[in-house]
Every structure is written in structure tokens, then in C-alpha cells.
Amino acid sequence: MTKVLDPTNETKPAEIPRVDRPESLDGLTVGLLDISKPRGDRFLDRIEERLVERGLRVERFRKPTFTKPAPVDLRHEIATKCDVVIEALAD
């Protein structure tokens, strides 16, 4: 029998349950997160136009760089201010 030592971090990632998808966007605040990829802003500008036309409240956010995870403060701000969030991966 061969016995080896586990090379992994052996941790189980903490699972945070997702919020249920809303039936409708009516009355909700939509966060738009630009990850700072080129032209992601153009995509989100258009989405914002469409959402505002429907009478929704929109909040815009931007990650400092797409190469690093969003700062924890930014994540908290989005969670506090918004009901749903749309993130733009673009290029």
C-alpha cells in the first residue's frame, strides 16, 4: 500500500447561497459592473439606456483593473446598493 501526503489546500470553499433570481426587475436597483476591459463601458452604456427606458434605477461600478479580483469594499457597496448586478466581460 502506498501512502502519500495531500498536496492540496484541503479546504472546502465556503459556500454562500445565491439570492434567488427575481421574477421581474420592476422596482429593483440594477448594478452595472465594468471590469475595466476595453469597450466594456460601451456595452454597459447601452444596457443602462435600455434599463432606464424601462424606468429602472441603475448604479454604475468599475473595478480598478480586470486583472485582479474586485476590492472587498466595492463588492460590499454593490451588495448594499443593488438588488441585481450585470457584469460586463468585454474586449
* Residues near another protein, by CB under 8 A: 1-11, 13, 64-65, 67-69
Q: Which is nearer to another protein, 3 or 18 (CB)?
A: 3
Name the minimum Å distance from CB 10 to another protein. Answer: 6
Report yes or no: 18 and 83 within 8 Å, Cβ to Cβ: no
Neighbours of 33 (CB within 10 A): 21
Q: How far apart are CA 54 and CA 48, in angstroms?
A: 10
Least CB distance to another protein at residue 61 (A): 18
Cβ proximity to another protein, 29 vs 36, nearer residue = 36
